[in-house]
Amino acid sequence: MKKLIQAAKVAREHACAHVTGYKVGAALETAKGKVYTGANVESPSAISCLCAERVALFSALSQGERLFKRIVTVAERKHPIPPCGFCRQTLLEFAPELEVIMANLEGKTKRSQLAELMPDAYLFE
Ligand SMILES: [Zn+2]
């Protein structure tokens, strides 16, 4: 897990957080152990912002990946924070069994399953 946290920390440094200054990094591990990273990208028009988790997911999807094991997010907060609702929904659509590990810069971590973070999720079946 240290490798994933480190990858998310490195990705976080590439965040485009010029609106809020709030940088987030994510590292998404596929079922085969490949890691895709992402950082949040902000825009003054909030509608076009994208969170680190979805940047990592979309990067992996665009490379043909479809099976995922876990995602690590890193942010500079006192307590590790979970993905936002948009990210939870999007991740759930592609990886309902995903493990979510949230970390802060001091190394504090919190683990959860995506299904626990998004109970009774909307799924188009
Ligand atoms: Zn999000």
Listed by start position, the domains of the chain span: 2-117
Average confidence score pLDDT of the chain: 95
Nearest one of 95, 125, 78 to 115, comparing CA atoms: 95
Nearest one of 71, 31, 79 to 51, comparing CA atoms: 71
Tokens of 54: 């979805």
Q: What percent of the chain has pLDDT over 70?
A: 100
From the list 29, 42, 53, 65, the catalytic residue is 53
- Tell me, what's the pLDDT at 3? 96
Task: Tell me the mean pLDDT in the region 25-35.
Answer: 98
Q: What's the CA-to-centroid distance between 13 and ligand 1, angstroms?
A: 17
Task: Tell me the mean pLDDT in the region 16-21.
Answer: 93
Claim: this prediction has a pTM higher than 0.75: yes
53 is catalytic: yes
Residues 6+ apart with CB under 8 A from 13: 23, 25, 39
Residues with C-beta atoms within 5 A of ion ligand 1: 51, 84, 87
- Tell me, what's the pLDDT at 46? 78
Q: What's the CA-to-centroid distance between 42 and ligand 1, angstroms?
A: 12
Q: What is the CATH number of domain 2-117?
A: 3.40.140.10
